[in-house]
Amino acid sequence: MTDRTTGPDQFTGATPDNALRDADRAEAASGPMLAADGTPLKKSLNRALRRQKMRALMLIAPLLIFILVAFIAPIADMLFRSVENQIVSETLPRTVDSLEDWDHTTGDLPSEGTFRALYVDMFIAAEKKEHTRLGTRLNYEQTGVSSLFRRTGRDVDDFGELYEDQFNDLDAAWEDPMTWARILGDPDWIAEAEGAEAPGPDFVLRDGVETALPTTAEVYSAFAEFTQTEDEDNPLEETPWTLVYTALYWDLMRDGFAYSGPESALVTAAAEAAPGFETVSMQENFVESDKDWGSTAVWSTIQTYAPEYTPGYFLNSVDAQLTPDGIEARPENEQIYGILFKRTIFMSMTITISCILLGYPVAWILANLPMRTANLLMILVLLPFWTSLLVRTSAWKVMLQQQGVINDILVWIGLVDDANRLIMINNQFGTIVAMTHILLPFMILPLYSVMATIPPTYLRAAKSLGANDWTAFWRVYFPQSVPGIGAGSILVFILAIGYYITPEIVGGTTGTFISNRIAYHISSSLNWGLAAALGSILLAAVLILYWAYDRIVGIDNVKLG
């Protein structure tokens, strides 16, 4: 029963909502009603309702957590990769900061200070084996950068040997790891680290040393941290990187250099001798390692992709690119993604229409046959689900090839000449045929479930009123089956637009989908950012089509029986 005074959806029986309404009316009439424990009835009912909702939430909480962790979080993480670009700024932080004021339009290379910053960043990245990942990332934007970073990563360890040799020749104490530890390390840390089992306590920089030796303190801290975390050794027992010697030389040559800490005599002697050291330009070192460092194109690419977030992946997905001069279209011979998106949408719609044309008669027959016969035929519809997708696709590859079963039959009956066998594989035709066969059950089942609910008396009634068979079908039966067509179409189209196994096997170069390119970037090129951008665009396209379908047909009209 319903309460007509409060609306058709309000039950007049005993429900929590009705109890609350009764309590409100009673309170308004004669003051608050009390429960058995003396608390106001309304408050007691609200507390009981909250407990009921909490119990219901706890029952579904495991499912919600599973969906969040196993489904939503991975998708969100993958979509985030389409704009994420922290690898450049994290791997080359000093270089990125130094390039902020560089103008690529002048045609001049960055300053020597920028090359020094690159030396520090590249040395540390090479020690951590991170320079190859950065090279791979930038190689997506400019071909050849990957090999440039690999080659330089092998050579960068030699850039500072000249300074290391001169410091060691000046005084053998510079070869002792304890000398560096006393100059740069905190005395309490040294006391704890001496004799401690490797890697020892975490390195602590001496107070004030970063003022006198800023660059040396920074790179020695990086050395100590790497030694303890990666090599699991004690910095007191390891000779510093050549980078540390080079950084010390740069600090000693600063204007107004002054030092008064431990080993001051040794440092002062080095400062007095430093102006006479043989020097080398870091720019010359890099260009000697690879001449591409003398090209502004490499530096422009680093500067362009320095921000932590970039639209570059999405631009590549629509056959454009982010350049130092702005957004530009890719050369015509490199524009492939627009073609793939159009082909994917067109072929998915073609497959969906093919499934409707083939599945509708089958579903109609199943819905109008006796139950016993219909159940036997339904087994044939479900039979493909018991066979591997790979096996079914491979079978079509055998049947459709030029020396396959279908061509042999056509030649045998004389419809096709043996010298002019049909090409039905490795093209769009092969993909459409194979995928229509694979997705056909997903169209038949929704159609059948809806048609089975249409009373056959409707058609008899229409005929008794003078309608012929076609009119009775078109005006009476077909409109009632449209919800099944809608459900099957959405199901088939969404499955088709994301397929990649079947197009990969039978599609060749002209029958592949955008999903094949996404799979390639995920598993082969490892360009996950571009794969995420392509997937995001594909997801947006599906949502737009879904919205359009809802506006035209109405998603409420979609039924599964």
558 or 421, greater pLDDT: 421
pLDDT at 20: 58
Provide the domain count of the chain: 4
pLDDT at 34: 56
Percent of the chain exceeding pLDDT 90 equals: 43
Q: Can you tell me the distance from the alpha carbon of 144 to that of 136, in angstroms, rounded to the nearest whole number?
A: 9
Among 80, 99, 129, where does a domain finish? Answer: 80
Q: How far is CA 253 from CA 164, 273, 310, in A?
A: 15, 10, 39
Q: How far is CA 376 from CA 220, 356, 365, 444, 560, in A?
A: 78, 22, 12, 15, 21
Q: Is the pLDDT of residue 454 over 80?
A: yes
Q: Identify whether residues 193 and 298 lie together within a single domain.
A: no
Q: Can you tell me the distance from the alpha carbon of 422 to that of 419, in angstroms, rounded to the nearest whole number?
A: 10
Q: Is the pLDDT of residue 126 over 90?
A: yes
Residues 30-68, buried b or exposed e (16+ Cβ, 10 A)? eeebeeeeeeebbebbeeeeeeeeeeeeeeeeeeeeeee
Q: Identify whether residues 483 and 442 lie together within a single domain.
A: yes
- Return phi, psi of residue 326, to 5°: 120, -160
Over the stretch 58-73, which tens digit does the pLDDT of each residue have? 888 898 899 999 888 9
Structural domain of 258: 160-279
pLDDT at 556: 64
Residue found under tokens 């909490």: 54
CATH number at residue 517: 1.10.3720.10
Q: Which of the residue ranges 25-34, 190-199, 330-339 would you say has the lowest mean pLDDT?
A: 25-34
Q: Identify whether residues 393 and 514 lie together within a single domain.
A: yes
Q: Which two tokens stand for residue 499?
A: 């397929």
Q: Identify whether residues 409 and 466 lie together within a single domain.
A: yes
pLDDT at 559: 55
Say how far residue 494 (Cα) sits from the centre of its chain.
20
Over the stretch 371-419, which tens digit does the pLDDT of each residue have? 888 888 888 888 888 888 888 888 898 898 888 888 888 898 988 888 8
Q: Identify whether residues 442 and 385 lie together within a single domain.
A: yes
| Span 319-323, average pLDDT | 89
Q: Identify whether residues 448 and 466 lie together within a single domain.
A: yes
| Span 2-15, average pLDDT | 52
| Span 49-66, average pLDDT | 87
Q: Is the pLDDT of residue 276 over 70?
A: yes
Q: Identify whether residues 213 and 265 lie together within a single domain.
A: yes
Question: Cα torsion for 138, 143, 146, 147, to the nearest 10°?
Answer: -160
Q: Can you tell me the distance from the alpha carbon of 491 to that of 384, in angstroms, rounded to the nearest whole number?
A: 17
Listed in sequence order, the residues at least 6 apart from 164 whose beta carbon sits closer than 8 Å to its beta carbon are 242, 245, 246
pLDDT at 347: 94
**Degrees, nearest 5: CA angle 432-433-437:** 110
Among residues 359, 290, 362, the alpha carbon closest in space to that of 131 is found at 290
Q: How confident is the model at residue 7 (pLDDT cuts 50, 70, 90)?
A: very low
Q: Which of the residue ranges 433-437, 439-443, 491-495, 544-548 would you say has the lowest mean pLDDT?
A: 544-548
* pTM across the whole model: 0.78
Q: Return the number of other C-beta atoms located less than 10 Å from residue 187's C-beta.
A: 13
pLDDT at 498: 87
Q: Identify whether residues 144 and 182 lie together within a single domain.
A: no
For the chain, give the mean pLDDT.
87
| Span 191-198, average pLDDT | 83
Q: Is the pLDDT of residue 243 over 90?
A: yes
Q: Identify whether residues 390 and 528 lie together within a single domain.
A: yes
Q: Identify whether residues 186 and 252 lie together within a single domain.
A: yes
Q: Identify whether residues 238 and 113 lie together within a single domain.
A: no
| Span 86-93, average pLDDT | 93
Residue 403 belongs to some domain of the structure: yes
395 or 31, greater pLDDT: 395
Q: How confident is the model at residue 301 (pLDDT cuts 50, 70, 90)?
A: very high
Q: Identify whether residues 105 and 66 lie together within a single domain.
A: no
Over the stretch 492-540, which tens digit does the pLDDT of each residue have? 998 999 888 899 889 888 888 999 999 999 888 889 999 999 999 988 8
